[in-house]
């Protein structure tokens, strides 16, 4: 059983649970985006931000080392400074995205310190999608987990609040009990799940891919895309500088460039397929789960509205 929180008490509640931490929530600016909240009136739960929450766990640009070519110790590790955070207003697709990224950054022999610290210091307060906030949402097809510290469901003048962790439970102890069953998310858009291995050469890929501009917006907006490059940059004095990590995209031509000039995925079609196969087949082979949470951002953000779900839904079954 969960609890109930009157909407007029939401600000006070958020203030309490985010004491000493940054409160991050969807804020309406030029567009709706997750930002550190300055004014509680800015919080907007209508629609879902087109930029996912991954930047709070692995920033678009993250300094790793300070370089000083005049010193014996050329590399100085940059200290990781992280304030505790509370994310309010994330959706199940957002939080499930973190579960996928955990596999990539925390499950292997090598682990990403910044990501781990960010994960350990962030409370996840989600909001249910009833109805889905975008016409491009198709998470119902993606077997999402009910993963959160707290989950809010809008009941008009109040929220039904459910805990998904011990931390979350502690936050709502004082609220009044309430009996309610959170309805599952229902999406109009569907992904017809298929064994992609059989369809690598299906002509449907080509047709949709013809529209692609290789701009990389799909990967930038993706909940789970976190491929990165590592770059050195020197100040004009050529003595001091930085080594930093920066988001990269498998959709860019130079992503597979090796010294000498050879590029392994030269054509857009191969790059498009690589993105989708990574999401829906390769990641599953490696980690037992899809790397897509059905948020639909890659479709909505694409300047040509390239929709991989349409490709997959359209596959010619007779060809197999």
Partner 1 sequence: MLFSPKPFRIVKKEAQTTDICLFKLERPRGEKEKLCYDPGEFFQVSVPGVGEAPFSVCSCSHDFIEFNIRGVGSVSNKLLELEPGSYMWLRGPYGNGYPMKDLIGNNLVIIGGGTGVAPLRGVLKYVEKHRADYEKVHVFFGFKRPEEILFKKDMEVWNRIFDLHLTVDKAPKDYKGRVGLVTKIVEESGLNNKNKAVMICGPPIMIKFTIMTLEKLGFNHDQIFVSFERRMKCGVGMCGHCMISGLYVCKDGPVFRYDKVKGVHE
Mask for 96-125, x = binds partner 1 (CB under 8 A): --------xx--xxxxxx------------
Select from 66, 74, 91, 102 the least CA-distant residue to 226: 102
Residue 191: how many other CB atoms lie within 10 Å: 21
In the bound complex, what is the minimum distance in angstroms from residue 269's beta carbon to partner 1? 11
Nearer to partner 1, 92 or 101 (CB): 101
Mask for 182-201, x = binds partner 1 (CB under 8 A): ------------------x-
CB 161 within 8 A of CB 309: no
Nearer to partner 1, 34 or 105 (CB): 105
In the bound complex, what is the minimum distance in angstroms from residue 17's beta carbon to partner 1? 32
Task: Go through 75-114 and write b for each residue having 16 or more CB atoms within 10 A of its CB, e for each that does not.
Answer: eeeeeeeeeebbbbbbbbbbbbbbebbbbbbeeeeeebeb
Mask for 257-296, x = binds partner 1 (CB under 8 A): xxxx---xx----x--xx--xx--xxx-xx----------
23-82: contacts with partner 1 (CB under 8 A): 64-65, 67, 69, 74-75, 77
215-254: contacts with partner 1 (CB under 8 A): 226-232, 234, 238, 241, 243, 248, 250
Name the residue with tokens 């955990």: 102
Q: How far is CA 151 from CA 6, 83, 241, 289, in A?
A: 14, 23, 43, 23
CB 41 within 8 A of CB 219: no
CB 297 within 8 A of CB 190: no
Phi, psi for 112 (deg, rounded to 5): -90, 115
In the bound complex, what is the minimum distance in angstroms from residue 77's beta carbon to partner 1? 5
- For residue 320, give both structure tokens: 């197999």
Nearer to partner 1, 8 or 81 (CB): 81
- Residues binding partner 1 (CB under 8 A): 64-65, 67, 69, 74-75, 77, 104-105, 108-113, 200, 226-232, 234, 238, 241, 243, 248, 250, 255-260, 264-265, 270, 273-274, 277-278, 281-283, 285-286
């Amino acid at each position: 059983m969960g609890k109930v929180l009157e909407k007029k008490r939401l600000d006070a509640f958020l203030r309490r649970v985010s004491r000493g931490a940054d409160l991050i929530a969807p804020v309406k600016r030029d567009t709706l985006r997750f930002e550190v909240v300055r004014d509680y009136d800015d919080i907007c739960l209508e629609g879902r931000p087109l930029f996912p929450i991954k930047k709070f766990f692995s920033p678009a640009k993250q300094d790793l080392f300070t370089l000083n070519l005049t010193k014996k110790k050329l590399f100085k590790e940059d200290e990781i400074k992280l304030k505790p955070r509370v994310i309010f207003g994330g959706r199940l697709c957002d939080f499930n995205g973190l579960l996928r990224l955990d596999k990539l950054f925390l499950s292997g022999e090598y682990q990403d310190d910044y990501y781990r610290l960010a994960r350990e210091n962030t409370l996840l307060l989600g909001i249910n999608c009833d109805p889905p906030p975008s016409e491009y949402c198709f998470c119902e097809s993606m077997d999402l987990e009910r993963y959160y510290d707290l989950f809010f469901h809008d009941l008009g003048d109040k929220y039904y609040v459910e805990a998904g962790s011990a931390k979350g439970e502690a936050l709502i102890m004082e609220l009044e009990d309430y009996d309610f069953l959170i309805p599952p998310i229902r999406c109009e858009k569907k992904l017809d799940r298929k064994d992609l291995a059989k369809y690598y050469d299906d002509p449907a890929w080509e047709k949709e891919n013809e529209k692609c501009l290789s701009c990389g917006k799909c990967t930038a907006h993706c909940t789970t895309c976190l491929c990165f490059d590592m770059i050195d940059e020197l100040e004009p004095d050529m003595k001091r500088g930085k080594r930093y990590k920066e988001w990269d995209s498998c959709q860019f031509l130079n992503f597979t460039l090796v010294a000498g000039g050879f590029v392994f995925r030269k054509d857009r079609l191969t790059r498009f397929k690589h993105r989708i196969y990574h999401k829906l087949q390769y990641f599953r082979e490696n980690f037992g789960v899809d790397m897509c949470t059905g948020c639909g951002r890659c479709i909505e953000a694409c300047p040509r509205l390239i929709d991989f779900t349409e490709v997959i839904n359209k596959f010619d079954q007779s060809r197999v």
